[in-house]
């Protein structure tokens, strides 16, 4: 990471809780955004953004309960860029998946967006828009 000097880093399955202070994961010159899973262990997402990039977290909630960070980047004289980092746990129930798909379709309909994360869909068939469950 130090050799490539990335502007944005998104991490899923952080397993962080409210008991873990941001300072434990601080990187000099980098701003930290995170969303912990609540109510049970595991999950969580974290995004690092290099200072100098004008990033803010969109406080609008997604309809799904999936852990997600929605960031908006603004640069002088250019369009906004929205980045959504998502963690979808394995064995998600059908209703949660349906709400997640609705959220993703709505988000993807905007201009200048990027969706990243772990959707736990290793067997996805992009031609059929189908992802059979894990055994």
pLDDT at 135 over 60: no
d(CA 132, CA 135): 9
Burial 20-33 (b: 16+ CB within 10 A, else e): eeeeeeeeeebbeb
Task: Enter the DSSP assignment of 71.
Answer: E
Distances (CA, A) of 57 to 36, 90, 97: 15, 26, 23
Share of the chain above pLDDT 70, in %: 93
Q: 3.90.1150.10, 3.60.10.10, 3.40.1190.20, 3.40.109.10: which CATH number matches 8-118?
A: 3.60.10.10
Look up residue 41 and give its DSSP letter: S
**Average pLDDT, integer, range 78-96:** 88
pLDDT at 129 over 70: no
Angular region, 24: left φ>0, alpha ψ -120 to 50, beta rest: alpha
Q: What is the mean pLDDT of residues 34-63?
A: 89
Indicate the average pLDDT of the chain: 87
Give the C-alpha separation, 111 to 89, whole Å.
27
């Amino acid at each position: 990471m130090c050799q490539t000097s990335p502007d944005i880093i998104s991490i899923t399955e952080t397993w962080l809780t409210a008991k873990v202070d941001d300072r434990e994961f601080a990187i000099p010159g980098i701003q930290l955004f995170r969303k912990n899973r609540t109510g049970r262990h595991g999950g969580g997402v974290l995004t690092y953004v290099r200072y100098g990039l004008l990033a803010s977290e969109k406080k609008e909630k997604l309809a799904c309960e999936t852990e997600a960070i929605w960031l908006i980047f603004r640069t002088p004289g250019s369009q906004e860029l929205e980045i959504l980092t998502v963690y979808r746990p394995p064995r998600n129930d059908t209703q949660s998946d349906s709400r997640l798909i609705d959220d993703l379709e709505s988000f993807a309909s905007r201009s200048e967006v990027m969706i990243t994360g772990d959707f736990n869909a290793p067997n996805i068939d992009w031609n059929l828009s189908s992802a059979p469950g894990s055994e």
